[in-house]
Amino acid sequence: MPETNYAVGIDLGGTSIKAGIADKKGKIIEKLSLPTNAGQGPEAVVNQIKKAIHRLLKKNNKKIAGIGIGSPGIVKLKKGTVENPPNFPGWSKVPLGTILTKEFNLNVFVENDANAAAIGELAYGSGKNLDNFLMVTLGTGVGGSIIINKKIYRGESGAAGEIGHVSIDHNGPKCNCGSYGCIEAYAGNNYLIQNVSRDLNNHIDSLLYHFVNVDNKTLTPKLIHQAALENDAYSKSIIIELGKNIGFALTSIINLLDITNVIIGGGVAGFGELLFDSIERGIKERVLIPLKDRIDVKPAKLKNEAGIKGASALVFYSN
Amino acid sequence: MPETNYAVGIDLGGTSIKAGIADKKGKIIEKLSLPTNAGQGPEAVVNQIKKAIHRLLKKNNKKIAGIGIGSPGIVKLKKGTVENPPNFPGWSKVPLGTILTKEFNLNVFVENDANAAAIGELAYGSGKNLDNFLMVTLGTGVGGSIIINKKIYRGESGAAGEIGHVSIDHNGPKCNCGSYGCIEAYAGNNYLIQNVSRDLNNHIDSLLYHFVNVDNKTLTPKLIHQAALENDAYSKSIIIELGKNIGFALTSIINLLDITNVIIGGGVAGFGELLFDSIERGIKERVLIPLKDRIDVKPAKLKNEAGIKGASALVFYSN
């Protein structure tokens, strides 16, 4: 049945819903974006998701194998229930899977967005030839997923994979989760920008300081990257330090799990080689000796449309 | 075949080899102990193991289902090869499984000692009713094992489960493994004793200080426990602090794996309720909220003969 080799992929974000139809090889043949309207509560969000899918299906003449959704929060697989996604006010538990199955009479696969990203890399990206890997997504938060034998490892309740909440210092900075020193409290975008903002006045001769003050630009990861590319020592040191910290967290995880391949995606992964080298070097300096030679840290292959591709891949490749 | 419900269990330690015959319920019907002679090199050790088994089998009239061995170091399952066990000079790789299969013409199951302890708890102890748990063994080092769906999780190369080398502080004390702040560098017996020894002079009015000086006793975990039982505030604070640190490491692991049951064995686990309460409280204060209510930390049930029981259980219960 070659005509069922297509799936809908929905990337549910805090500000926008990215939706597309992709084939079994991850090629997107149709896509659109709608505002999430998260501030209007769960019903409004569900309506936007439905609207996005209806619009896609209207234009479409392929037979659709199912709908895949990558969502923030904890996802309970049975009913595709999404629990407490951060930045979705008023949302406690919504059985998104059940709702959409009824609406569209199609198989619906709801998955945590970090797991969806990992399935995308497994199916079409840097994880294609790997049986086991750790996936880290650097964004507002630090998402994580553990792939064992080409399947998502879910844990007892579907909450496994929280790489972002592995702590590297029990006396470290307070994390939003309530704990201390979680790698998210160093590498999450907001934390990173906060930390650098606080430190920037100690580096008034840096290019980054200059960048931020010219035209009163606010500090962003992009600016740090730009300054580093122009060889600003301070900006480079920020990226190297970030990599080291991520490496510390990964060292603990690799020692624990004996999984030595790491794929890193998300915006800050755009820091490029400087970041990746620093992460890999950090791990190799500290990881248990028998594991050292197998360590491999690489960037995610799926970039802009990773969310849609990962979500549509759930229909074909998730366990 | 009720007559094959017996197995040989070998607990290979740095100083002694404990050997026994146990039934499928973990009841030991015969046992003995021989010096390991680790200082004389791998051949001598292998000879001692053979001698122990020969002696056991000589006295025995039951039909034996196989031989299980719990060994320090990394164990490669295929040939039961034991690699670089700490405190075994001159030992790089020894195919213990192959050697003993030839010698005794029986099925031989070689497993890392922490994993053997976990299988013991799974078969006969505190893990009997659990599908998933973390096993921590507090000894000279801090051993670990991860049980998922009633099986040992081994990772890519059989090295998984190194809970002892999860770091709680990237600037923490140097660990023997080369990394920093590993929980072993706080909770391993030698480290614990070192740290307390260094601190003891600041607590000359403590009962522990008094204990250590009377009769020139050296500091041991047992003395700390004894003083704590007699309500020595300083000794109690050592145990509570130790529990907190173990709790920090476990928090990261539980967040990562969504496995919420923890079994703690080994000598220092004898610190009792004070330790267990501190570990559990530490985890509950920091772990991700959706996991909190399921957290359960309990002592291992198998005590003195845990090594033999765990090893013999490998024959019947390991995957």
pLDDT digits (tens, 9 = 90+) for A230-279: 999 999 999 999 999 999 999 999 999 999 999 999 878 788 899 999 99
CA dihedral over B4, B6, B12, B17, signed as positive or negative: negative
% residues pLDDT > 90 (chain A): 84
Contact with chain A for residue B149, Cβ under 8 A: no
Q: Which helix (H) or strand (E) holds A256?
A: helix A233-257
DSSP for residue A39:
G
pLDDT of residue B265: 93
Name the nearest CA neighbour of A91 among A71, A105, A109. A71
Residue of chain B with shortest Cα separation from A145? B256
Residues A26, A312: contact at Cβ < 8 Å? yes
The span from the CA of A235 to the CA of A228, in Å, is 5
Residue pLDDT tens, chain B, 319 long:
445 799 999 999 989 999 999 999 999 999 999 999 999 999 999 999 999 999 999 988 889 999 999 999 889 988 899 998 888 999 999 999 999 999 999 999 999 999 999 999 999 999 999 999 999 999 888 999 999 999 999 999 999 999 999 999 999 999 989 999 999 999 999 899 999 999 999 999 999 999 998 766 789 999 999 999 999 999 999 999 999 999 999 999 999 999 999 999 987 878 889 999 999 999 999 999 999 999 999 999 998 789 999 999 999 998 7
Look up residue A17 and give its two tokens. Answer: 């819903």
The span from the CA of B26 to the CA of B315, in Å, is 11
pLDDT of residue A86: 81
Interface with A, mutate which of B252, B254, B283, B287 (most A CBs under 10 A): B252
- In chain A, which residues have their Cβ closer than 8 Å to the Cβ of B131? 156
Give domain limits for chain B: 2-122+305-317, 129-299
Q: Would you call B315 exposed, middle or buried from its count of C-beta atoms within 10 A (0-12, 13-18, 19+)?
A: buried
The span from the CA of B117 to the CA of B145, in Å, is 8
pLDDT digits (tens, 9 = 90+) for A114-152: 999 999 999 999 999 999 999 999 988 899 999 999 999
pLDDT of residue B218: 86
Alpha-carbon distances, residue A298 vs A18, A40, A263, A272, B43 (angstroms): 25, 39, 5, 10, 43
Residue B178 CB neighbours (<10 A): 14
Banded model confidence at residue A216, pLDDT cuts 50, 70, 90:
low
- In chain A, which residues have their Cβ closer than 8 Å to the Cβ of B158? 258
- In chain B, which residues have their Cβ closer than 8 Å to the Cβ of A256? 144, 146, 160-163, 165-166, 253, 256
Give the CA diameter of chain A: 64
Higher pLDDT, A217 or A289: A289
Look up residue A128 and give its two tokens. Answer: 């294609």
- Residue A143's DSSP bridge partners are A137
Residue of chain B with shortest Cα separation from A244? B170
pLDDT of residue A282: 95
pLDDT of residue A215: 66
Give the contacts of B219 (CB within 8 A, at least 6 positions apart): B193, B196, B197, B200, B208, B212
- In chain B, which residues have their Cβ closer than 8 Å to the Cβ of A150? none
Residues A62, A30: contact at Cβ < 8 Å? no
pLDDT of residue B61: 87
Look up residue B22 and give its two tokens. Answer: 């146990």
Residue B89 CB neighbours (<10 A): 9
Q: Do A166 and B132 touch (CB under 8 A)?
A: no
pLDDT of residue A1: 44
Banded model confidence at residue A2, pLDDT cuts 50, 70, 90:
very low
Higher pLDDT, A74 or B44: B44
**From edge to edge, which strands make up the β-sheet containing B93-95?**
B74-76, B81-83, B93-95
Contact with chain A for residue B74, Cβ under 8 A: yes
Look up residue A258 and give its two tokens. Answer: 């004996």
Q: Do A258 and B144 touch (CB under 8 A)?
A: no
Contact with chain B for residue A34, Cβ under 8 A: no
The span from the CA of A266 to the CA of B49, in Å, is 53
Q: Coil, helix or strand for A64?
A: strand
Which of A84, A166, A288 is opposite residue B177, by nearest beta carbon? A288
Looking at domain A129-299, which CATH architecture does it have? 2-Layer Sandwich (3.30)
Q: Do B156 and A132 touch (CB under 8 A)?
A: yes
DSSP chain B: -GGG-EEEEEEE-SSEEEEEEEETTS-EEEEEEEE--GGG-HHHHHHHHHHHHHHHHHH--SPEEEEEEEESSEEETTTTEEE--TT-TT-SEEEHHHHHHHHH-S-EEEEEHHHHHHHHHHHHSTTTT-SSEEEEEESSSEEEEEEETTEE--TTTS----GGG-BSBTTSPBPTTS-BSBTHHHHSHHHHHHHHHHHHGGGTTSHHHHHHHGGGPPP-HHHHHHHHHTT-HHHHHHHHHHHHHHHHHHHHHHHHH---EEEEESGGGGGTHHHHHHHHHHHHHHS-HHHHTT-EEEE-S--TTHHHHHHHHHHHH--
Q: What are the φ/ψ torsions at residue B121 (nearest 5 degrees)?
A: -65, -35
Give the CA diameter of chain B: 63
The pTM score is 0.94
pLDDT of residue B271: 87
Q: Do B167 and A245 touch (CB under 8 A)?
A: no
Q: Do B256 and A167 touch (CB under 8 A)?
A: no
Name the nearest CA neighbour of B181 among B170, B191, B192. B170
Name the nearest CA neighbour of A40 among A28, A31, A49, A52. A49
Residues A108, A97: contact at Cβ < 8 Å? yes
Angle between helix A221-229 and helix A233-257 axes, rounded to 10 deg = 110
Query: In angstroms, what is the C-alpha Rg of chain B?
Result: 20
Asked whether the domain spanning A129-299 has the same topology as the one spanning A2-122+305-317, the reply is yes
Contact with chain B for residue A83, Cβ under 8 A: yes
Q: What does the buried/exposed string (b/e) look like for B250-285 if buried means 16 or more CB atoms within 10 Å of the residue's CB?
A: bbbbbbbbbbbbbbbbbebbebeebbbebbbbbbee
Which of B162, B251, B257 is opposite residue A160, by nearest beta carbon? B257
Q: Do A157 and B259 touch (CB under 8 A)?
A: no
Which of B154, B158, B166 is opposite residue A256, by nearest beta carbon? B166
Which of A158, A181, A253 is opposite residue B256, by nearest beta carbon? A253
pLDDT of residue B216: 64
Contact with chain B for residue A47, Cβ under 8 A: no
Contact with chain B for residue A86, Cβ under 8 A: no
Which of A168, A179, A258 is opposite residue B157, by nearest beta carbon? A258
Q: Do A178 and B259 touch (CB under 8 A)?
A: no
pLDDT of residue A3: 55
CATH value of A2-122+305-317 in 2.40.30.10, 1.20.930.40, 3.30.420.40, 2.40.128.110: 3.30.420.40
* CA contacts within 13 A on the Cβ side of A208: 28
Contact with chain A for residue B26, Cβ under 8 A: no
Q: Which helix (H) or strand (E) holds A145?
A: strand A142-148
- In chain A, which residues have their Cβ closer than 8 Å to the Cβ of B168? 167, 169-170
Q: Do B167 and A168 touch (CB under 8 A)?
A: yes
